[in-house]
Amino acid sequence: MATFYLLPPRPILEESLGRFLNTWLPGLRGPAVSGAELAALLQDHLAERGDVFVIFREDLPDGADAENALRDGYGAEAGDDIIELRLAAGDRVTSRSWRLGAMAAA
């Protein structure tokens, strides 16, 4: 079984990270890391693990159902875990998780 982390679009994550770093490193100008660099950092860090995948929301087709898009575009299979993270008001992170195909099996 694999785990798929579905993250917000890179620009949103980059902006949120910038605000976080501004709190911890006041006066720092400009983004500390770009969305592309952040994506590469996460994917490189997880490359050794063949069972964990990071997918950014903008990499899914517009309007597509996340479950179908992960299955069709990224090889997710029944039994894989999906953890979807979203940024809410005040930089609060919310998440929902489910097991792919769990509804069909019930």
Of residues 33 and 76, more confidence is placed in 76
Cα 75 → chain centroid: 16
CA–CA separation, 32 vs 1, rounded Å?
Answer: 34
Tell me the per-residue pLDDT of 66-99, one tens digit each, with 9 for 90 and over: 999 999 999 999 999 999 999 888 778 899 999 9
Average of pLDDT values for 33-43? 76
pTM: 0.81
Burial of 82 (0-12, 13-18, 19+ CB in 10 A): buried
- Residue 14 confidence (pLDDT) above 60: yes
Across the chain, mean pLDDT equals 85
- Residue 100 confidence (pLDDT) above 80: yes
CA–CA separation, 25 vs 33, rounded Å?
Answer: 14
- Residue whose token pair is 């309007």: 63
Predicted pLDDT at 30? 66
> Do 106 and 78 form a contact (C-beta atoms < 8 A)?
no
Predicted pLDDT at 24? 84
Domain residue spans in the chain? 3-105
Structure tokens at 97: 């998780």
